[in-house]
Amino acid sequence: MTDLVRARLRTTVLLIVAVLVETTLGSDLRIAGVAPDFMILVVICAGLTGGTLSGAFVGFWAGLLYDMFLTATPVGLSALTYCLIGAAIGALRTSVLQERKSLLPAAALIGTAAGVLLFVGAGDVLGQTQLLGAGRAWLIRVMIVESLWNAVLALPVGYVYAWVARGSAGAERVGSPVRRTSRSAVPTVK
Amino acid sequence: MAVYRRSSRTRNIIVVLVLLALTFVTIDARSHGGGVLSEVRSKVSDAFSPLQRATHAALRPIGNFLTGALDYGSLKRENERLRQELAQQQSEAATAQAEQQDAEQVLHNYQLDKGVLGSIPFASVQIIQAGSSNFDNTVTINKGTDAGIAVGQPVLAAGGLVGTVVSTSSRIATVELVSDPNFRVGVSLSGGNTGSAAGAGRLLPMKVDVVSTDHSPPQEQVGQIVVTSGLAMERFPKGIPVGKVSKVVTIPGAIEPEIDLQPVVDPTSISYLDVALWSPQQ
């Protein structure tokens, strides 16, 4: 078994653990009624670590797994959202984002806000109008609080992801964001 | 050239994943909770429920600690308010007990029943997932069809309406909370009026649409408890407390007032619920 296969197996286990934590502990961690989203954090880490394709793949499977535990929205909506967010973060990482200490929290902040907007926007377009039933004020509150929550949780989750994805190129990028300065080493396809 | 081929492959794979996700959404949305994907979701939830229970039990102390730390200020205020309420209710309890005895005596004398609620069996359930998504006003409970739980049954806690069962599998069930924007319940109002109370989202009060009739407009007071109407075709039996009136506004020119209800029970603060094993046909 190669290091890459081991890393993929560990990532699968991490997704299962993340969804269990999200559906149990996550709902207890509410500030102003808003809970963090561990699943999108893992997806953002995957995008930063493995690039566009890795972000899209991990995002799709993470979303599909999370959809199994959501009852108010159809299966596939989280998969669609996380897949696009993972791919976007990966694409930005390979082309735009510079290596900085604040890269992961900043990516978590912006990626989460975009994820909330995309989830509600895509859901509304696909007929899930109840997502806007609580009003725009609730949407804005969720977007702000969830983004801040995820920015705070980004570093611990990032270190866990780096440990899990060890063996795959770029894993240390999330765990130790200041170690490398070059963007050229980011793999795009595995 | 190699770079171009690689980026083209990446793009194609992402397009396939997006189309796959859109297909899932379309199939599931069109099946209205009764298709293959709902079946898969139900099976996966069932398979994961033991793991969820174990994780819930293991992480509960951490969750409680963090919840306490995050909500310290509001918990302190809540504690003070509850102490005041307890003191007030203890003094009222003695009076109520005497009145209760009188009422029971009257019911007994006139051979009246105790209403629909008194005759309904209940199943006690525990919340194993308290709605992790910020747009999902549902909770998952630890019993399903094996325990007689069925879609449409009312769910109560501390004597107040919490929601209704919207999906079941053999070992778990999902409860739609009164705060969900899709939730509707018929309520009785003063002066022989009725209305429809609807959820408006997490932490927000329910909104009551008063049904216009020949009766004079309802004169609800802030703090008054509103109960289910139990009319024909209603999903809930009569007399379940739904919420406490938190605001009454009569807009100039409007016939009916706008009424806000604060749900009697905050389902996010409790762990156990009661499912009424009742159907509207009863």
Where residue A163 sits, what CATH number does that domain have? 1.10.1760
Helix and strand totals (H; E) in chain B: 3, 12
Q: How confident is the model at residue B85 (pLDDT cuts 50, 70, 90)?
A: confident
For A80, name the nearest residue in chain B, comparing CA atoms only.
B21
For B72, name the nearest residue in chain A, comparing CA atoms only.
A31
Q: What is the pLDDT of residues A97-134, one digit of tens each?
A: 777 778 899 999 999 999 999 999 999 998 888 888 77
Strands of the sheet with B241-249, listed across from one edge? B184-188, B194-198, B206-210, B258-263, B241-249, B225-227
- Residues of A within 8 A of B52 (CB-CB) are 20, 23-24
What pLDDT is attached to residue A127? 86
Is the CB of residue B63 less than 8 Å away from at least one CB of chain A? yes
Using alpha carbons only, give the angle B175, B180, B181 rounded to the nearest 5 degrees. Answer: 145
By residue range, what is the domain housing residue A124? Answer: 3-175
DSSP character at residue A73: S
Using alpha carbons only, give the angle A134, A140, A143 rounded to the nearest 5 degrees. Answer: 110
Residue B239 CA to residue A148 CA, distance in Å, equals: 43
- Residues of A within 8 A of B63 (CB-CB) are 24-25, 28-29
Average pLDDT of the segment spanning B182-199: 86
Q: Rounded to 5 degrees, what are φ and ψ at B121? A: -80, 150
Torsion of CA B98, B99, B105, B109, to 10 degrees: 160
Residue B10 CA to residue A52 CA, distance in Å, equals: 7
What pLDDT is attached to residue B54? 85
Inter-residue contact A133 to B181 (CB < 8 Å): yes
Is the CB of residue B248 less than 8 Å away from at least one CB of chain A? no
What pLDDT is attached to residue A182? 40
Structural domain contains residue A187: no
Is the CB of residue B86 less than 8 Å away from at least one CB of chain A? no
Residue B260 CA to residue B203 CA, distance in Å, equals: 13
Is the CB of residue B190 less than 8 Å away from at least one CB of chain A? no
Cross-chain residue pair A130–B180, CB shorter than 8 Å: yes
CATH superfamily of B123-282: Rod shape-determining protein MreC, domain 1 (2.40.10.340)
Q: To which H or E segment does residue A57 belong?
A: helix A52-67
Q: What is the largest CA-CA distance in chain B?
A: 94
- Residues of B within 8 A of A33 (CB-CB) are 134, 202-203
Structural domain contains residue A45: yes
Indicate if ipTM > 0.90: no
Mean pLDDT over the full length of chain B: 80
Number of domains in chain A: 1
Q: How confident is the model at residue A180 (pLDDT cuts 50, 70, 90)?
A: very low
Would you state the structure tokens that stand for residue B17, as one six-digit string? 């994943």
Would you state the structure tokens that stand for residue B125, as one six-digit string? 């359930």
Mean pLDDT over the full length of chain A: 84
Average pLDDT of the segment spanning B261-275: 81
Inter-residue contact A180 to A19 (CB < 8 Å): no
Cross-chain residue pair A77–B25, CB shorter than 8 Å: yes
Is the CB of residue B98 less than 8 Å away from at least one CB of chain A? no
What pLDDT is attached to residue A184? 37
Strand partners, B225: B244
Structural domain contains residue A115: yes
Structural domain contains residue A188: no
Q: How confident is the model at residue B95 (pLDDT cuts 50, 70, 90)?
A: low
Is the CB of residue A184 less than 8 Å away from at least one CB of chain B? no
DSSP string, A145-158: HHHHHHHHHHHHHH
Looking at CA atoms only, how far is residue B51 from chain A in angstroms?
A: 8
| Cα–Cα separations (whole angstroms), residue A138 to A142, B29, B31, B278 | 6, 24, 29, 34
Give the number of other Cβ atoms within 10 Å of residue B173's Cβ.
Answer: 27
Looking at CA atoms only, how far is residue B85 from chain A in angstroms?
A: 24
Q: Rounded to 5 degrees, what are φ and ψ at A186? A: -75, 120
Strand partners, B272: B126
Cross-chain residue pair A189–B6, CB shorter than 8 Å: yes
DSSP character at residue B225: E
| Among candidates A30, A32, A133 on the partner chain, residue whose Cβ is nearest the Cβ of B181 | A133
Per-residue pLDDT for B162 more than 50? yes
Cross-chain residue pair A64–B24, CB shorter than 8 Å: yes
3-state secondary structure (DSSP) of residue B212: coil
Per-residue pLDDT for B61 more than 90? no
